[in-house]
């Protein structure tokens, strides 16, 4: 998973990576194959979620991104299931919603 070193709560940072993965799969759902770096970042985020939340939490998402990783577009129903799965993790978390809606505010060193 990408390490941004922004001083975010690791849980919030993981949900940000899952939000990215959700956008990647949503692009695939409409027939747009994301770039290799975007796919790799999505894979890494879902792998981290697998470890944090368990296999059952991201099984559909894992199935979709592994198809993308092999150079193919997943079937539409698989993409829909993955986006719903990721949405259930990302969109229901209050800490992440606060970060997403109001942005990360930090003071830069003088």
**48-84: b (≥16 Cβ within 10 Å) or e:** bbbeeeeeebbebbbbbbebbeeeebbeeebbbbbbe
Please give the pLDDT value at position 72.
96
Rounded Cα distance, 82 and 76, in Å: 10
Q: What is the pTM of this model?
A: 0.82
Q: Is 101 helix (H, G, I), strand (E, B) or coil?
A: helix
Please give the pLDDT value at position 8.
63
Please give the pLDDT value at position 75.
96
Rounded Cα distance, 17 and 50, in Å: 12
Q: What are the domain boundaries of the chain?
A: 16-100
pLDDT in tens, the chain (110 residues): 555 545 567 888 898 899 999 999 999 999 999 999 999 999 999 999 999 999 999 999 999 999 999 999 999 999 999 999 999 998 887 777 777 776 654 443 43
- Residue 76 neighbours by CB under 8 Å, 6+ apart: 29
């Amino acid at each position: 998973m990408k390490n941004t070193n922004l001083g975010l709560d690791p849980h919030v940072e993981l949900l940000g990576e899952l939000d990215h993965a959700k956008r990647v799969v949503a692009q695939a759902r409409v027939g747009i194959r994301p770039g290799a770096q975007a796919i790799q970042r999505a894979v890494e985020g879902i792998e981290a979620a697998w470890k944090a939340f368990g296999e059952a939490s991201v099984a559909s998402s894992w199935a979709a991104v592994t198809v993308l990783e092999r150079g193919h577009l997943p079937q539409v129903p698989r993409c829909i299931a993955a986006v719903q799965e990721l949405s259930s993790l990302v969109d229901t978390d209050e800490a992440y919603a606060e970060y997403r809606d109001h942005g990360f505010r930090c003071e830069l060193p003088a």
